[in-house]
Structure 1
Amino acid sequence: MDQPQPTPDLRDPALYLNRELSQLEFNYRVLAQAMDPSVPLLERLRFLCISCTNLDEFFEIRVAAVRHQLDYGGSIGPDGLGAATALKLIHEKASGLVEAQYRCWNEVLRPELGAAGIRILARDSWNARQQRWLRNYFRDEILPVLSPLGLDPAHPFPRILNKSLNIVVVLQGKDAFGRAGHMAIVRAPRSLPRIIQLPERVSGGAHDFVLLSAVLGAFVDELFPGMKVKGAYQFRVTRNSELFVDEEEVENLALALKDELAGRGFRRAMRLEIAENCPKPIVKTLLKNFELPENAVYRINGPVNLNRVIQVYDLVDRPELKFPPFQPRKLPPEGGTIFERLREGDVLLHHPFDSFNSVLELVQTAAIDPNVLAIKQTLYRTGGDPALVEALVQAARNGKDVTVVVELRARFDEEANILLADRLQEAGVQVVYGVVGYKTHAKMLLIVRREGRKLQRYVHLGTGNYHAGTAKAYTDIGLMTADADLGNDVHQVFQQLSGLAPAIKLKRLLQSPFTLHAALIAKIEREARHARAGRHARIVAKMNAINEPGVIRALYEASQAGVRIDLLVRGACCLRPGVPGVSENIRVRSVVGRFLEHSRVYWFANNGAPEIFCASADWMERNLLRRVETCFPILDPRLAGRVFDEELANYLADNTQSWELQPDGSYRRIRPEGDEMPHSAQAALLAKLCG
Structure 2
Amino acid sequence: MTTEITKAKSVTSDDLSVPAPVEVPPVGEQVNLDASENWFNRELSQLQFNYRVLKQSMDPAHPLINRLIFCCIFSSNLDEFFEIRVAGLREQLKYGRETVGADGIQPEQALAEISRVAHEYIEEQYDILNNVLFPALEKENIHFIRRREWTPAQAEWVRNYFDEEILPVVSPIGLDPSHPFPRLVNKSLNFIVELDGKDAFGRETGMAILPAPRSLPRLVRLPDEVCEGGENLVFLSSMIHAHADELFPGMEVKGCYQFRLTRNADLELEDDLEDLASALRGELLSRRFGDGVRLEVADNCPEELVHFLLTEFGLGERDLYRVNGPVNLTRLLAVSGLVDRPDLTYSSFSPAIPRQIRSKESMFEAIRKRPILLSHPFENFSSVVDLLRQAAKDPQVLAIRQTLYRAGTGSEIVEALADAARRGKEVTAVVELRARFSEAENLELASRLQEAGVIVVYGVVGYKTHAKMLLIVRREEGKLSRYVHLGTGNYHAGNARLYTDYSFMTCDDSIGDDVNKLFQQLTGMGKALKIKKLFHAPFSMHKRLISLIEREASYGEDGRIIFKFNALTDAQLIKALYRASQAGVQIDLIVRGICCLRPGVPGLSENIRVRSIVGRFLEHTRIYYFENKGKPDVYCASADGMERNMLSRIEVAFPIEEPALIARLQEDLDAYLADNCQSWMLQPDGSYIQNQPAEGEPRVAAQLVLLERLTGKSKP
Write the mapping of 1:155-174 to structure 2, written as runs, cut at 5 A.
155-174=179-198
- Matching residue of 1:243: 267
- 288, 310, 313: which one pairs with 1:290? 313
Task: Measure the CA separation in 1 of the matches of 2:27 and 2:60.
Answer: 52
- Matching residue of 1:625: 647
Q: Deviations over 1:535-556 (max 9, x none)?
A: x211011010010001001111
Task: Measure the CA separation in 2 of the matches of 1:589 and 1:10.
Answer: 22
Task: Output the amino acid matched with 2:42.
Answer: R
Task: Output the amino acid matched with 2:510.
Answer: D
Task: Measure the CA separation in 1 of the matches of 2:622 and 2:412.
Answer: 26
Write the mapping of 1:124-143 to structure 2, written as runs, cut at 5 A.
124-143=148-167
- Matching residue of 1:498: 523
Q: Is the contact made by 2:562 and 2:588 (CA closer than 8 Å) also made in structure 1?
A: yes
Q: Does 1:70 align with 2:93?
A: yes
- Matching residue of 2:472: 447
| Structure 1 residue 456: Cα displacement | 0.4
- Matching residue of 1:682: 703
- 468, 473, 488: which one pairs with 2:498? 473
- 568, 589, 602: which one pairs with 1:580? 602
Q: Does 1:567 align with 2:589?
A: yes
Task: Measure the CA separation in 2 of the matches of 1:457 and 1:353.
Answer: 27
- 629, 640, 643: which one pairs with 1:607? 629
Partner SS, residue 247 of structure 1: coil
| Structure 1 residue 111: Cα displacement | 1.0
Task: Measure the CA separation in 1 of the matches of 2:466 and 2:27.
Answer: 47
- Matching residue of 2:348: 325
Q: Does 1:54 align with 2:80?
A: no
| Structure 1 residue 181: Cα displacement | 3.5
Q: Does 1:365 align with 2:386?
A: no
Task: Output the amino acid matched with 1:267.
Answer: G
Q: Does 1:541 align with 2:563?
A: yes
Q: Does 1:515 align with 2:537?
A: no
- Matching residue of 2:19: none
- 179, 182, 187: which one pairs with 2:211? 187
Q: Does 1:591 align with 2:613?
A: yes
Summarize the Cα distance change of 1:178–1:684 in structure 2 as closer, same or farther, 3 Å threshold. same
Partner SS, residue 185 of structure 1: strand
- Matching residue of 2:7: none
Q: Deviations over 1:223-247 (max 9, x none)?
A: 1111111111100000111111113
Partner SS, residue 48 of structure 2: helix
Q: Does 1:315 align with 2:338?
A: yes
Task: Output the amino acid matched with 1:395.
Answer: A
| Structure 1 residue 197: Cα displacement | 1.0
Summarize the Cα distance change of 1:595–1:3 in structure 2 as closer, same or farther, 3 Å threshold. closer
Partner SS, residue 80 of structure 1: coil
Q: Is the contact made by 2:499 and 2:619 (CA closer than 8 Å) also made in structure 1?
A: yes
Task: Measure the CA separation in 2 of the matches of 1:627 and 1:3.
Answer: 41
Task: Measure the CA separation in 2 of the matches of 1:209 and 1:403.
Answer: 48
Partner SS, residue 607 of structure 1: coil
Task: Measure the CA separation in 2 of the matches of 1:612 and 1:74.
Answer: 39
Task: Measure the CA separation in 2 of the matches of 1:580 and 1:277.
Answer: 50
Q: Give every structure 1 segment of 4 or more consecutive aligned residues whose post-TM-superposition deviation is greater than 6 Å.
A: none
Q: Does 1:145 align with 2:197?
A: no
Q: Is the contact made by 2:400 and 2:473 (CA closer than 8 Å) also made in structure 1?
A: yes
Q: Is the contact made by 1:527 and 1:563 (CA closer than 8 Å) also made in structure 2?
A: yes
- 638, 647, 651: which one pairs with 2:672? 651
Task: Output the amino acid matched with 2:569.
Answer: N
Q: Is the contact made by 1:247 and 1:253 (CA closer than 8 Å) also made in structure 2?
A: no
Partner SS, residue 7 of structure 1: coil
| Structure 1 residue 206: Cα displacement | 4.2
Task: Output the amino acid matched with 2:212.
Answer: A
Write the mapping of 1:258-277 to structure 2, written as runs, cut at 5 A.
258-277=281-300
- Matching residue of 2:135: 111
Task: Measure the CA separation in 2 of the matches of 1:336 and 1:480.
Answer: 16
Task: Output the amino acid matched with 1:468.
Answer: A
| Structure 1 residue 387: Cα displacement | 1.8
Q: Does 1:30 align with 2:57?
A: no
Q: Is the contact made by 1:516 and 1:624 (CA closer than 8 Å) also made in structure 2?
A: yes
Partner SS, residue 167 of structure 2: helix
Q: Is the contact made by 2:411 and 2:493 (CA closer than 8 Å) also made in structure 1?
A: no
| Structure 1 residue 334: Cα displacement | 2.0
Unmatched tracts of structure 1, length 5 or more: none
Task: Measure the CA separation in 1 of the matches of 2:224 and 2:290.
Answer: 42
Write the mapping of 1:199-210 to structure 2, written as runs, cut at 5 A.
199-210=223-234
Task: Output the amino acid matched with 1:69.
Answer: Q
| Structure 1 residue 453: Cα displacement | 2.2
Summarize the Cα distance change of 1:8–1:123 in structure 2 as closer, same or farther, 3 Å threshold. same
| Structure 1 residue 336: Cα displacement | 4.6
Task: Measure the CA separation in 2 of the matches of 1:426 and 1:76.
Answer: 47
| Structure 1 residue 671: Cα displacement | 0.2
Task: Measure the CA separation in 1 of the matches of 2:294 and 2:361.
Answer: 58
Task: Output the amino acid matched with 2:711.
Answer: C
Task: Measure the CA separation in 2 of the matches of 1:625 and 1:56.
Answer: 27
| Structure 1 residue 335: Cα displacement | 3.3
Task: Measure the CA separation in 2 of the matches of 1:656 and 1:449.
Answer: 47
| Structure 1 residue 283: Cα displacement | 1.0
| Structure 1 residue 8: Cα displacement | 1.2
Task: Measure the CA separation in 2 of the matches of 1:607 and 1:225.
Answer: 81
Task: Output the amino acid matched with 2:354.
Answer: L
Q: Is the contact made by 1:45 and 1:313 (CA closer than 8 Å) also made in structure 2?
A: no
Task: Measure the CA separation in 2 of the matches of 1:3 and 1:487.
Answer: 53
Q: Does 1:14 align with 2:37?
A: yes
Task: Output the amino acid matched with 2:199.
Answer: D
| Structure 1 residue 6: Cα displacement | 2.4
Moved more, 67-76 or 232-241: 67-76
Aligned length: 685
| Structure 1 residue 4: Cα displacement | 5.3
| Structure 1 residue 682: Cα displacement | 0.8
Summarize the Cα distance change of 1:168–1:372 in structure 2 as closer, same or farther, 3 Å threshold. same
Partner SS, residue 289 of structure 1: helix
- Matching residue of 1:411: 436
Unmatched tracts of structure 2, length 5 or more: 1-24
| Structure 1 residue 75: Cα displacement | 2.5
Task: Measure the CA separation in 2 of the matches of 1:140 and 1:370.
Answer: 56
Q: Does 1:338 align with 2:360?
A: no
Q: Deviations over 1:637-671 (max 9, x none)?
A: 1101101211x111000001010011121110000
Q: Deviations over 1:347-372 (max 9, x none)?
A: 11000011001100100010011110
TM-align CA RMSD:
1.2
Partner SS, residue 608 of structure 1: coil
Moved more, 353-362 or 216-225: 216-225
Q: Does 1:660 align with 2:685?
A: no
Q: Which has the higher contact order (CA 8 A, sep 6+)?
A: 2
Taking structure 2 as the reference length, what is the TM-score of the superposition? 0.94
Partner SS, residue 606 of structure 1: coil
- Matching residue of 2:119: 95
Partner SS, residue 685 of structure 2: coil
Q: Deviations over 1:33-60 (max 9, x none)?
A: 1111221011111111111100101101
Task: Measure the CA separation in 2 of the matches of 1:685 and 1:549.
Answer: 32
Task: Output the amino acid matched with 1:97.
Answer: Y
| Structure 1 residue 154: Cα displacement | 1.5
Task: Output the amino acid matched with 1:288.
Answer: T
Task: Measure the CA separation in 1 of the matches of 2:337 and 2:91.
Answer: 38
Q: Is the contact made by 2:99 and 2:106 (CA closer than 8 Å) also made in structure 1?
A: no
Q: Is the contact made by 2:422 and 2:452 (CA closer than 8 Å) also made in structure 1?
A: yes
Task: Output the amino acid matched with 2:295.
Answer: L
Taking structure 1 as the reference length, what is the TM-score of the superposition? 0.98
Task: Measure the CA separation in 2 of the matches of 1:32 and 1:70.
Answer: 33
